[in-house]
A and B are shown apart, each in its own frame.
Chain A
Amino acid sequence: ETGVTQTPRHLVMGMTNKKSLKCEQHLGHNAMYWYKQSAKKPLELMFVYSLEERVENNSVPSRFSPECPNSSHLFLHLHTLQPEDSALYLCASSQVRGTAINIQYFGAGTRLSVL
């Protein structure tokens, strides 16, 4: 148990559905991240929130919409996804402090299948 909880663990959705992924961290961290992990590809950083403000958006399609209501919670809202969006979606958190080492702790992930 890393202190980062993701729900649901598995999700199957059609291309016209709308769903949301949830992440909660219990570590008192001030930064949260969404990553996508597809087969045979490196972890891809999607979004970064630091102190509840989005600081990074790596050209992610608009069908993915993040939300960070407070420093402990992060959501990823999904709509009109494509089959190629099927992947493991990982949430991570870290404590960002000046030049200190940025150690990220990952949740268990949500395995998403888009039919």
Chain B
Amino acid sequence: QKEVEQNSGPLSVPEGAIASLNCTYSDRGSQSFFWYRQYSGKSPELIMFIYSNGDKEDGRFTAQLNKASQYVSLLIRDSQPSDSATYLCAADNAGNMLTFGGGTRLMVKP
């Protein structure tokens, strides 16, 4: 069974710190990986996607992918209280489906 695993948290970081969110996946055939942010009671919104090994940066966000280790991470620099949310990791499967992890709840404390 194809799985995506995340630590449920909560991960608590002080304002201004770097938040590091991690995700592992089981399907070696997965090619693309996605990070979604979901505020309480709201729908998931896409933050970033990555498909090449290495780092991809977008503003305060950096996604990292290591296909050999089947590991994806999201770094949030200069964390703000408004970043407090649940972060969902997803991996694509054959047939253009996504498998989601259970999400990591991030709390940024002022």
Contact = CB atoms under 8 A, between A and B. Distances in A.
Interface residues of B, number: 24
A41 B43 contact: no
Interface string A24-58: 00000001000000001111010010100001100
B110 interface: no
Nearest to B34: A103
B43 A109 contact: yes
A60 interface: no
A92 to B, nearest CB: 8
A2 B43 contact: yes
B96 A103 contact: no
Contacts of B8: 40
A32 to B, nearest CB: 12
Contacts of A56: 95, 97
Given A90-B44, A101-B49, A106-B44, A42 B4 contact: yes
A112 B51 CA distance: 35
21 contacts: A31-B96, A40-B8, A42-B100, A43-B100, A45-B97, A45-B99, A48-B95, A90-B44, A94-B96, A99-B31, A101-B32, A102-B98, A103-B46, A103-B49, A104-B46, A104-B98, A106-B44, A106-B45, A107-B43, A108-B42, A108-B43
Interface of A: 2, 31, 40-43, 45, 48, 50, 55-56, 90, 94, 96, 99, 101-109
Instruction: Rank and list the top 10 A-B pairs by shortest CB-CB distance, nearest first.
Output: A43-B100, A106-B43, A102-B96, A42-B102, A96-B96, A42-B100, A108-B43, A109-B43, A106-B44, A101-B32
Interface of B: 4, 8, 31-32, 34, 36, 42-46, 49, 51, 88, 92, 95-103
